[in-house]
Structure 1
Amino acid sequence: MKKRYFLVALLLLGLLVAGCKPGSQAQSKVIAEVNGDKITQTEFDQHLKLLKFTYEKQVLGTGKLDAVKDKETISKLAEQSYKEMVLQKLLWQEAEKQKINIKDSEVDEALKDQDIKTFLADSGMEENYFRQEMKTQILYWKIRDKVTAKISASEAEAQKYYQDNIGQYTEPGGMQVAHILVATEKEALDILAQLKAGSDFAELAKQYSTCPSKERGGDLGPINENSNYVTEFKEAALKLQPGEITREPVKSEAGYHLIKAGDKVESKVHPFEEVKNSVVADLENQKKDKAYGDYLNSLNKKAEVKDLRK
């Protein structure tokens, strides 16, 4: 239900294609060399399919990239794919130096609850490349763990970070809101009839809603004008008075919502001692991200890369 945003730094989320060759590529054109290791057109195309699929899901929702209308976007994704391919080769070279192996069983564990067939059908990726992609994702985090193993944050550093980023530890004020999300207007109208007949909103949310908030009876917490929700939902929610339910289903890109307003709440700053462990973890992660980013940049700078695309 929240707005979808395309995260440009897909690499930092682990969305990397693999460095090993998952299948025969004897007939595939070589488009680059990284310290002597070849990047083939097939590898590049498979990773570009992943980037396109991710963009379509996060930005377009149910839409598809159009080769003519979205030519500039596709070109940027292609350049991103190339850069990520170079870096993934470097990661696998580091894995060889550090004798890091990723077992098939680790991939199986990561994918045990995923609908892989549907993903492959929707994205157009081949299974062997996708499984190798997952190996690279696991490798990415294993190397990060090794590179950043000695990085920590002191309490004094955490206190400064807390003061500099107080907004992260502040609960926003606004209207307490719950909702029930369903796919069709008919479903929403049927549930609305039950609400008007006296049924409990939270129980109906647990029974019918498709939003993860169903586990909390549809509770989304407080929202305000600055909350990151789609316009149709936010405007309808903020018009309600405490205890009021929308009289009609509210349509958005996510489906149809029935919205209930709760009490108005004031913003609340959590004291440092209350969130100290979270602050330390946040700061450590920030420091580790920077250290690992510097490490990856150093690999790039030292690498001998031949761009053979032209």
Structure 2
Amino acid sequence: MTDRLAVLTDTGSIKDVPGVRVGHRTIVRHDVRTGVTAIVPTPVPTPERPLPCGLFVGNGHGKLIGSTQVAEMGTLETPIVLTNTLSAFGAADALVGWMLDRPDCADVVTLNPLVAECNDSWLSDIRQRAVTAADVRAALDDASDDFALGAVGAGTGMRALGFKGGIGTASRAVGDQRLGVLALTNFTGHLRLDGRPVEPANTADPEGNSCVVVVATDAPLDARQLGRIARRGVYAMGTVGAAYSHGSGDYAIAFSTRRADDARSGCVREKDLDPFFSATLEASAQAIVSSLWHAETTHGRAGHVAYGLRETLRERGLLDR
């Protein structure tokens, strides 16, 4: 299994899309295991210079702040921030403040922040709302192409498919273009690797499940096409074992780094979208596996434990190292 897992987990990164950076702020203290993650396209999108963006809601049991304007207008006006459920609203305010402080937003009087969340209350005391505006700003300011995976940032307290969840990433080349995915995983189901079931580390089935898949590409795609690509991000969850349960918020956001004005001319033709669909399915599934592979066993509040996939497989004698 070792060689096959290397293939499944060493699959590139969202940073392979030129101009896409990621920043984290990880908060671990007492009963808190939480944080914030920022996906920051560069140049940073603004209301005057937005990026084309589409989204897909597989199950809407979640708080995707800013989603209705993205669906209506097909544009991304800010970086994308990920955090825990009860910190999402404060994170949105902090993102607005960070944007308004920018010189290129000096005349902005309306702004649509895009903030998504997963519920980390099984491992973290979510009621503390531990993520502060300073944490959000730090994640945005520290965004780079060198970022950690697993139990970090927004993924610190997450659990998925019977193991420790968190932040994962993968990418694919589509001709001369690149498509990358970052996943925040916190959903139920039974993990399948290469089509084979993997027995969970424990049988706890916490409430408040969700997954956020963020797809970035430098291909010239419009908002409608990006919405079609986002669908494949949610579909990919099923290929690795998602249960799509009642309490799961299953979301995908897809954006292009080609500015909206540019993407309307010279878009990829509809009949040429199939390679992008395949790339999204593959990279999204592998980003989810990546989130589990890189997450270490985490002890949280109330004695709860989420076991790392790699450690579990090693204990079962399925890994050489």
Normalised-by-shorter TM-score class: under 0.3
Compare the two structures and name the one with the higher strand fraction. 2
Q: TM-score, normalised by structure 2?
A: 0.21
The structure number with the bigger radius of gyration is: 1
Compare the two structures and name the one with the higher helix fraction. 1
